[in-house]
Amino acid sequence: MMARPADRGPEFLQGLAGQLLVNEPMSRHTTWRTGGTAQYFYTPADRQDLLALLARLPGDIPVHWVGLGSNLLVRDGGLSGIVIRTAKGLNEITVHPGRVLYAESGVSCAKIARRAAQCNLTGVEFLAGVPGSFGGALAMNAGAFSGETWQWVKQVEWVDRSGNISIHPSAEVRHAYREVELPAETWILGGWLALEKAGPGYRGRDRIRDFLDRRAASQPVQSANAGSVFRNPAGDFAARLIEEAGLKGRESGDAVISPVHSNFIINRGRATSADIENLIRLARNEVRRCSGIELETEVRIIGEAA
């Protein structure tokens, strides 16, 4: 379905400046390259356009926020309501005095890592290995290489479905490993990171390159995937448990538990979301049977089954 101007969409989208797609395949917007259609798929032109949309959004319209589409499985039956894509319209990134970096939710994590390094600020080089947007990293406390996003968060701003913005110091927001507690129907607009000044001889680009090389050597980065599927249980690793259960390389349709890293499921080209979810269910069941450990998904699973 080709894009059409927002003023030709439903009444609550008329007069807005963003781009509307109707019955848009989510396979075009997720890194797994699967998923049914979204009833409405809206990319705001900027922050003010987003706020105007939220202010007029009917209360019975389901809302789904998507950044770069990683860490997300959309079922084959698709999504009712509206998907709001932040990756293009919410892309401001600025560095302020006092070693503080601000970014809106649509900025990629990799861009934040690079900008910080360019400004001789250190702490978030690991974000180069997080294949998603800053909003998603804030919403789930994403991490890599022993670093976590909320280690560095000074404050965040979020918005409710009426378009009301509020700013909250990190101490006011409960967060833990791969978990952040936000009020219902509240979405992150951006956040401030309090970073450290790099010392003499700092080579930020080299550190980022090292993280990326380590990621490429241990993860199936060239395949369609959504990142780590399961959280690591306390004191253990999901990949080890899945491999111990004999599931490395297990297939369902055109989806496969990666032979490179067992906590990744890859789409070899024609997998459906149901194929992927079958493997998620299989891994949970077999790990529970073999070790008694209940794996918890790190990826979000939304939408209706076909």
Q: Which of 178, 215, 250, 284 is catalytic?
A: 178
100-104 and 93-96 beta bridge pairing: antiparallel
The Cα 182–Cα 158 span in angstroms is 9
Question: Residue 228 catalytic?
Answer: yes
Contact between 97 and 183 under an 8 Å Cβ cutoff? The reply is no
Q: Which of 105, 133, 228, 273 is catalytic?
A: 228
Contact between 32 and 44 under an 8 Å Cβ cutoff? The reply is no
The Cα 30–Cα 264 span in angstroms is 15
Name the maximum alpha-carbon separation found in the chain: 58
* Count of other CB atoms within 10 angstroms of residue 48: 12
* Count of other CB atoms within 10 angstroms of residue 12: 16
The Cα 142–Cα 125 span in angstroms is 13
The Cα 289–Cα 56 span in angstroms is 49
Which secondary structure element, helix H or strand E, spans residue 289, and what is its range? helix 273-291
Contact between 117 and 209 under an 8 Å Cβ cutoff? The reply is no
Q: Which residues are catalytic?
A: 178, 228, 298
